[in-house]
Structure 1
Amino acid sequence: MSERSERQVQAVWPPLRPELAGIEPYGAPQLDVPVQLNVNENPYGPSAECVADIAEAAAEAAVTLNRYPDREFVELRRALAEYLSKDAPVSADMVWAANGSNEVMLQLLQAFGGPGRTAVSFAPTYSMYPEYARDTHTEWVAGAREDDFSLDLDKARALIEEVRPSVVLLPSPNNPTGTALPPEAIGLLCEVVGDRGIVVVDEAYGEFRRAGVPSALESLATWRNLVVTRTMSKAFAGAGLRLGYLAAHPAIVDAIRVVRLPYHLSAVTQAVALAALRHAPELLGKVDELRSERDRTVDWLRGQGHEVAESDANYVLFGRFADRHAVWQGLLDHGVLIREVGPDGWLRVSIGTAAEMDTFKTALVAVLNPRGAES
């Protein structure tokens, strides 16, 4: 090989898709600091009894690891359907699960997106959505939310009628703002999209919504193009479990089965998820406490003069800062890690324990008013 040819080979190695060149992998900073409030985890771990049940279930699954798992994970789908049915009737054939709601979303884009098709959402929104579109060669179109991060339904209708998307992605509560969809939004958007596409309401933080805010699950019986996604990472305190799931018309579930990888949910994942569901009352037992802590945090931040987005999630978006990175870094220097995400000038803090939130508040005051904190 000539020297010129060798340089050309080196210049394109590895032979990555051109649109992926130079892109950093998604992910929040993982730093070892005393107070970690940046990835919306549930700060309360499982009890010893729950841990023992999970360990026993994993051990039983380990005995059969020489065999492939149930690729249809029927038992888990039944258990998830039973859990969801507290909000609205859901049967096992309406449920699908994967390794985190991220994989659920990717499978939806694999099945219903693709070349020549379009996905729509409304910014600011979850930063992984355009990556799902990119990875499935789906065109990405982002409309805009209002100044208070709400969704103007007339503008949303107009955009959908113009773009005619195959997939509409609507987180409720919205990430990173915490804003929930108004109840009338589901029906309006499902009607506008019609049978040419699906409307995905991402309820990853749905269990944290305030009283009186309905779940999109209540609309499943009305709209066959509606998909509602959930996760065990947040309210269930199962971020390390990596189990996301959806409820939808059985025909949508069958379509996803076409694109799923064989045996994508391991026997251990299925067993651990089933054990966690057996302990649902305990694992969800801190949700009310976290809601109250969220509301106290919102009130405190507003009392300090900050703008705060209305939140139905376990996090709060607040601002506005001329140099938000300096505030983020100052908090980190005080041992508190939050998330530098969302519109410019805003920061997001996950809701932790009462003690963690006290540390956050003390640190924020010290960062923004160092002389006052010293006096």
Structure 2
Amino acid sequence: MISLDELPLRDDLRGLTPYGAPQAPLPVALNVNENTHPVPDEVASDVLDEIAVALRDINRYPDREFTALREGFAAYLGHGLTAGQIWAGNGSNEVLQHILQAFAGPGRTVFGFAPTYSMYPLLTQGTGAHWIAGSRDDDYEISADDAAAQVAAADPDVVLLCTPNNPTGTPLSLEVIEAVYEAARGIVVVDEAYHEFAPRDSASALTLLEGRPRLAISRTMSKAFAFAGARVGYLAADPTFIDALRLVRLPYHLSALTQAAAVAALRNASTMLAMVDEIVEQRDRISATLEALGYAPHESWSNFVLFGGVDDPQFTWQALYDRGVLVRDVGIPGHLRVTAGTETETTAFLEALASIGSPS
């Protein structure tokens, strides 16, 4: 078998490694921010019924415009949105890829405030664009003035804003988003993958869409909807923005079965989202217990907690692994990240961590 170096690979891809969090058959997997709660039985039955209907026409191509699904997303998001303002893909990563294919690409730049979602640089690289990493304060927050100044200096073609931010859980105010939009000449994308875990009274960037044709708000069904395996992401933007994405999407990119499953899940949104309160409760329990154990958890509006005060992250990660608990080393010195799981999973993590001993 030949090596990768022997293939005529693009020069800008040489030396890179593919994205991938560790997957291991451990009893407690809390490393990739999944919703670890299973889909409720009544919703699963409804999803299966919808898929069974779709199977009758599986010999035909699916609705290329995924009309019913876009209508469902518009109704779920509210804010007066229409189906013409909605786009969807196989996970929010594909939605973001569509944006970069349309508005970034070779000779263009993409900007984000680091540390942030690790797929942003990879998606940027994959579309031939250049990634520019901005900076955050020590507590991972960003002021409106600082954000605007950094964006103006970088002058990127696309800005990616993750709020609540992954991997830190840090929220981003609407004032920051407005300032970035005014400072940017290109596209501004607000990634709200974890918005459902934020406080109920926190405003979504969806409130900023009107009159801002270069703004897009991305969401996912992987987290709050416990639909990670279904791979469904979506966004809201100006209808003309949506037209731009049609230029780069593959034909019939959302299968009929994916569309059917997502439509059924949206129909059961209230049931699917009922588990969010429990996840938030466990997230806050994790933060409180981590602090009591001598670690330094960061404020989180997401379904995970980033915590510092870890003297040797690799040792602690391995010690938790040996105890059947999988967490994530996100590469921030002195830190680890853990997903808020079920009460049982949270207890297993906290007990395993306590058994290792408190940081010195």
Residue 350 (structure 1) aligned with residue 343 (structure 2): no
| 8 Å contact kept, 1:35–1:337 | yes
Corresponding residue for 1:329? Answer: 318
**SS, match of residue 247 in structure 2:** helix
Q: 1:51, CA displacement in angstroms?
A: 1.3
**C-alpha separation between the residues in 1 aligned to 2:97 and 2:4?**
31
Corresponding residue for 1:189? Answer: 180
Q: 1:11, CA displacement in angstroms?
A: 8.5
1:61–1:10 distance in 2 versus 1, CA, 3 Å:
closer
Corresponding residue for 1:113? Answer: 104
Q: 1:35-74 alignment to 2 at 5 Å? A: 35-74=28-67
Q: 1:183-222 alignment to 2 at 5 Å? A: 183-193=174-184, 196-222=185-211
Taking structure 1 as the reference length, the TM-score comes to: 0.92
**SS, match of residue 121 in structure 1:** strand
Q: Give the number of aligned pairs.
A: 358
1:246–1:10 distance in 2 versus 1, CA, 3 Å:
closer
Q: 1:10, CA displacement in angstroms?
A: 7.5
CA offset digits 1:157-202 (Å, max 9, x no partner): 1221122111100000000000010221121111111xx3111010
Corresponding residue for 2:264? Answer: 275
Residue 196 of structure 2 aligns with an amino acid whose one-letter code is E
The gaps in structure 2 that reach 5 residues or longer are none
Corresponding residue for 1:298? Answer: 287
Q: 1:156-167 alignment to 2 at 5 Å? A: 156-167=147-158
Structure 1 runs of 4+ with >6 Å offset? none
**SS, match of residue 284 in structure 1:** helix
1:342–1:223 distance in 2 versus 1, CA, 3 Å:
farther
| 8 Å contact kept, 2:294–2:358 | no
Q: 1:365, CA displacement in angstroms?
A: 0.9
Aligned counterpart in structure 2 of residue 96 of structure 1, from 87, 90, 97: 87
| 8 Å contact kept, 1:187–1:223 | no
CA offset digits 1:118-151 (Å, max 9, x no partner): 1100110001101111111111100111110101
Residue 110 of structure 2 aligns with an amino acid whose one-letter code is A
The gaps in structure 1 that reach 5 residues or longer are 1-8, 371-375
Corresponding residue for 1:310? Answer: 299
Residue 116 of structure 2 aligns with an amino acid whose one-letter code is T
Residue 94 of structure 2 aligns with an amino acid whose one-letter code is E
**C-alpha separation between the residues in 2 aligned to 1:13 and 1:282?**
52
Question: Which has the higher mean CA deviation after the structures are superposed, 155-164 or 238-247?
Answer: 155-164
**C-alpha separation between the residues in 2 aligned to 1:63 and 1:113?**
39
**C-alpha separation between the residues in 1 aligned to 2:3 and 2:279?**
52
**C-alpha separation between the residues in 2 aligned to 1:91 and 1:290?**
30
Aligned counterpart in structure 2 of residue 171 of structure 1, from 132, 150, 162: 162
Q: 1:15, CA displacement in angstroms?
A: 1.9
Corresponding residue for 1:19? Answer: 12
Give percent identity, aligned residues only.
Answer: 51
Q: 1:12, CA displacement in angstroms?
A: 4.5
- Larger-gyration structure (1/2): 1
1:84–1:74 distance in 2 versus 1, CA, 3 Å:
same
Taking structure 2 as the reference length, the TM-score comes to: 0.96
